[in-house]
Chains A and B, each alone.
Chain A
């Protein structure tokens, strides 16, 4: 059974701080990794993907991938109250176009 694990939270950080969200996966053949943000009552929206070991930066967001440790993370710098949402980690195991989803981490950014 392929699994993706995330801490459910809630993760609470003050405004302006760095929020660190973590995700581990079980399938060593996994090739691409996605972070989605989901506001309450809304649909998931893609914020970042990564497929190479190392860091990938996009504005205030940085995705980090370590395939040896089967670990992917999302850092949010200068956190804003508008970042308060559930963050979903999803993993694609290669030729299979399906995604395996984590349960999500709830983030609360306090003004």
Chain B
């Protein structure tokens, strides 16, 4: 069955370290998204991609970067982790079907920055 996976599921790191969160989907979707979810803020878009070599900034992109070298993967890199980046991170992918663009989510990565 097609799916979307994230790794690691839990990560503890220290301030200033570079961290990469992996996202892999086997839906063959062109669109991929990274969100963070924090209490009181809901889901906030970090970066997104509409296809290979395409990346775009979302509403909270500072301190994060992504690259899209193939259809299946969109890794999220925290260049220099900060305590404010402690959060739950969700990857999602989507494809337009019948005029509707449904997003499907991975299981999430809980990141703690000490």
Flag whether A42 is at the interface (Cβ < 8 A).
yes
Q: By CB atoms of chain B within 10 A, which of A34, A90, A92, A98 has the most?
A: A98
- The stretch that binds A, out of B14-22, B68-76, B79-87, B104-112, is B104-112
Flag whether A17 is at the interface (Cβ < 8 A).
no
Flag whether A43 is at the interface (Cβ < 8 A).
yes
* Contact assessment for A43 and B45 in the assembled complex, using a CB-CB cutoff below 8 Å: no
Which residues does chain A contribute within 8 Å of B50, judged by CB atoms? 97
Contacts A43-B90, A88-B43, A104-B42 known; A99 to B100 CB distance under 8 Å? no
* Contact assessment for B42 and A99 in the assembled complex, using a CB-CB cutoff below 8 Å: no
Q: Cα distance A33–B83 when bound, in Å?
A: 34
* Contact assessment for B45 and A42 in the assembled complex, using a CB-CB cutoff below 8 Å: no
- The stretch that binds B, out of A19-27, A45-53, A65-73, A75-83, is A45-53
* Contact assessment for A98 and B45 in the assembled complex, using a CB-CB cutoff below 8 Å: yes
Sorting the interface of chain A by its residue count into under 10, 10 to 19, 20 to 34 or 35 or more gives 10 to 19
Q: By CB atoms of chain A within 10 A, which of B33, B42, B107 has the most?
A: B42
Flag whether B28 is at the interface (Cβ < 8 A).
no
Contacts A88-B43, A97-B94, A98-B48 known; A43 to B102 CB distance under 8 Å? no
> How far does the Cβ of B42 sit from chain A's closest Cβ, in whole Å?
4
Contacts A43-B90, A43-B108, A44-B90 known; A101 to B103 CB distance under 8 Å? no
* Contact assessment for B103 and A46 in the assembled complex, using a CB-CB cutoff below 8 Å: yes
* Contact assessment for B105 and A43 in the assembled complex, using a CB-CB cutoff below 8 Å: yes
> How far does the Cβ of B98 sit from chain A's closest Cβ, in whole Å?
10
Q: Cα distance A41–B40 when bound, in Å?
A: 15
Q: Cα distance A103–B11 when bound, in Å?
A: 25
Q: Cα distance A84–B41 when bound, in Å?
A: 21
Interchain residue pairs A-B with the least CB separation, the first 8? A43-B105, A103-B42, A101-B43, A97-B101, A43-B108, A44-B105, A101-B42, A43-B107
Q: Which residues of B contact A (CB under 8 A)?
A: 31, 33, 40-45, 48, 50, 58, 90, 94, 96, 99-108
